[in-house]
Amino acid sequence: MNRTDRLALSHLWVAIVAFGVAAAMAFMQALSRASLDLPWRSAKMYYLSVTAHGVLMALVFTTFFIMAFGYVVVTRALDRPPATPGLAWAGFWIALAGTLAAVWAILTGRATVLYTFYPPLKAHPAFYIGLTLVVVGSWCWAAVMLLSYRAWRKEHPDAPAPLVMHGMLATVIVWLIATVGVAAEMLLQLIPWSLGWSKTIDPVLARMLFWYFGHPLVYFWLLPAYVIWYTVLPRVAGGKLFSDPLARLVFVLFIVLSTPVGFHHQFMDPGVSAGWKLLHTFLTMGILFPSFVTAFTVTASMEVAGRMQGARGWLDWLGKLPWRDPLFSSVALSMILFAFGGIGGAINASFGMNAVVHNTAWIQGHFHLTVGSAAALTFMGASYWLLPRLTGRELELALLARVQPYLWFLGMLLFSFSNHITGLMGMPRRIYDASYDGATAAQAWRGLTEVSAAGGLLLFASAGFFILVMVGTALAGKRREPEPVLWTEPLEPVSPRRTLLDRYGLWAVVAVILVLIAYAYPLWAHLRMARFGSPGFSPF
């Protein structure tokens, strides 16, 4: 193992541990949903576990996995060690220290504010400072990615970046634009307020800044998954990428459209005017387009793979695909789940329908298909593919690895679909107990809540399999010469020169202009309105 692989592996292991702890937290929630009377079950434990699950899954597991994958892309696609390794390691330790501080605050019951941490719920300062350090660590990673690309470009002045790096550069740009919002919320509002330096806080301003960050955060999770779908999946399936330029276009569209859409999370908020909510609605619909293109290109690439293995008929190429390979099955199943997630997303973005589902169980049903499947299941599949290639050890407990994606798929179908339905029936999300003193409306949710609990238990078993395979491989996997990390070849040769789609600076500028159009005036108007701050509350 060389030094740069140690960098990627360190990040990967933090991701895996965070995932394991977060999965254990989800297990407790599943038991709550089943209304089982267990001695340690309490509202305090439930809301604490929801907070820990959200922070560790959505913020820590994803970010550390994406950083690990970014370093693998630099070493294996640009064929060079990451630029400024000192900065890369500094980023790792800063993000890890921040994670530990935030996790300490959560697990000791000082920060039961959920991963959306809406003020005036007030957590211990270590929670806010810790999460800010995670973001600072990720900025170091972003800088290393950009510097590595610049160094590569000096040696390849005309060539376009390999597609896998193109996708990761898009991820970096989206992340840098997005995190401005959460950094402002943390540094200008939450940290000074939690330390007692400012007495009051404006919760709507905090929500605007949070969702400026919160929606592109979704694409920060999703883009690396798309990168894997485009550049790893077809190769593992024995095929080629159907269209390289369209894949590049997709990532460029995400750079441009990811951020100016955040008000669609605030449709039901007071204090934000209707016109701006409408503008964000239109832009949100636009962002469906690159995902439609992805659905076609990736599916077509799988068909190419099936035909290269000799399929002739309309659908028999499906049978030629390596359904027993854990990377392939993880990604293919995550794509199926994500198709439902995408349709649900279009529903959420339509404010008329959103009024019915806002903050209901529908929402957790929805985002477990996106971040919980498209991203998380893809990342697990990628870990099966990556760990042997980084450590030079064969995958241990390969049977568990083969079963695990299917178990996740089944668990997620039960969990997500039942939550979508109870959501439509008006069950709120994030509640310890759904009985409401025996109200008739609440009784109708029973049964389905138990289906969701059963789904949760299957997901927990699947997560346990994943952890066993990872730990087993690291400790006991047979040593051998590691297979090389190889990316998918396009069906048609890539243009030898950079095109408009490879002008990252230009697209970043376009994105910033669009962000200014969507956010500058509403923020300015908000700040000059007569507002009253709110003191903090810690009812946990």
Partner 1 sequence: MNVAFYEKIWMWAAGVLILAFLVTITVGVAGSALQPPSHVETIDPTKIWNDARFTQRGVTVDAHGATVIAVAMMFAYAPAELRVPAGRPVTFRLTSADVTHGFQIVGTNGNTMIVPGYVSQFTTVFREPGEYLIVCNEYCGLGHHLMSAKLIVEVGGEARP
Q: Which residue number, 81 or 167, has a Cβ lying nearer to partner 1? A: 167
Residue of 11, 166, 215, 358 with catalytic role? 215
Please state, in angstroms and as integers, the Cα–Cα distance from residue 104 to each residue in 109, 123, 508, following that order: 9, 12, 37
Is residue 406 part of the annotated active site? The answer reads: no
> Per-residue b/e over 319-343, b at no fewer than 16 CB within 10 Å?
ebbeeebbbbbbbbbbbebbebbbe
Q: Which residue number, 516 or 529, has a Cβ lying nearer to partner 1? A: 529
**DSSP secondary structure code for residue 430 in this structure:** S
Residue of 127, 367, 409, 466 with catalytic role? 367
Is residue 124 part of the annotated active site? The answer reads: no
**DSSP secondary structure code for residue 484 in this structure:** P
Residue of 280, 366, 393, 402 with catalytic role? 366
Least distance between partner 1 and beta carbon 509 (Å): 22
Q: Which residue number, 464 or 533, has a Cβ lying nearer to partner 1? A: 533
Interacting residues of 24 by C-beta distance below 8 A, sequence separation 6+: 460
CA distance 337 to 131: 29
- Look at residue 479 and give its three-state secondary structure: strand
CA distance 104 to 98: 10
Is residue 429 part of the annotated active site? The answer reads: yes
Residue of 41, 110, 153, 430 with catalytic role? 430
CA distance 417 to 409: 12
Q: Which residue number, 71 or 219, has a Cβ lying nearer to partner 1? A: 219
Q: Which residue number, 2 or 440, has a Cβ lying nearer to partner 1? A: 440
Least distance between partner 1 and beta carbon 453 (Å): 16
Least distance between partner 1 and beta carbon 532 (Å): 4
Is residue 402 part of the annotated active site? The answer reads: no
Q: Which residue number, 479 or 528, has a Cβ lying nearer to partner 1? A: 528
Residue of 219, 220, 230, 267 with catalytic role? 219
CA distance 320 to 314: 12
Least distance between partner 1 and beta carbon 216 (Å): 19
Whether the CB-CB separation of 84 and 16 falls below 8 Å is answered with: no
Please state, in angstroms and as integers, the Cα–Cα distance from residue 472 to each residue in 181, 329, 381, 393, 478, following that order: 40, 21, 16, 10, 10
Least distance between partner 1 and beta carbon 9 (Å): 36
Residue of 207, 402, 429, 465 with catalytic role? 429
- Look at residue 201 and give its three-state secondary structure: strand
Residue of 368, 393, 402, 420 with catalytic role? 368
Is residue 115 part of the annotated active site? The answer reads: no
Is residue 479 part of the annotated active site? The answer reads: no
CA distance 17 to 100: 12
**DSSP secondary structure code for residue 493 in this structure:** P
Q: Which residue number, 243 or 462, has a Cβ lying nearer to partner 1? A: 243
Which pair of structure tokens corresponds to residue 312? Answer: 């002739």
Neighbours of 493 (CB within 10 A): 8
Whether the CB-CB separation of 432 and 43 falls below 8 Å is answered with: yes
Please state, in angstroms and as integers, the Cα–Cα distance from residue 63 to each residue in 18, 225, 283, following that order: 11, 12, 26
Least distance between partner 1 and beta carbon 476 (Å): 42
Least distance between partner 1 and beta carbon 272 (Å): 6
Which pair of structure tokens corresponds to residue 255? Answer: 């750079």
Least distance between partner 1 and beta carbon 262 (Å): 13
Is residue 264 part of the annotated active site? The answer reads: no
Q: Which residue number, 35 or 84, has a Cβ lying nearer to partner 1? A: 35
Interacting residues of 503 by C-beta distance below 8 A, sequence separation 6+: none
Which pair of structure tokens corresponds to residue 268? Answer: 């039901």
Of 189, 214, 207, 190, the C-alpha closest to 268 is 207
Q: Which residue number, 292 or 524, has a Cβ lying nearer to partner 1? A: 292
In degrees and rounded to multiples of 5, residue 380 shows phi and psi of: -65, -45
Whether the CB-CB separation of 330 and 239 falls below 8 Å is answered with: no
Least distance between partner 1 and beta carbon 292 (Å): 4
| Phi-psi region at 352: left, alpha or beta (left = phi > 0; alpha = psi -120 to 50) | alpha
Least distance between partner 1 and beta carbon 264 (Å): 9
> Per-residue b/e over 445-473, b at no fewer than 16 CB within 10 Å?
beebbebbbbbbbbbbbbbbbbbbbbbbb
Tally of CA atoms within 13 A in the half-sphere of 141 that contains its CB:
33
Q: Which residue number, 391 or 495, has a Cβ lying nearer to partner 1? A: 495
Query: Active-site residues: which are they?
Result: 215, 219, 366-368, 429-430
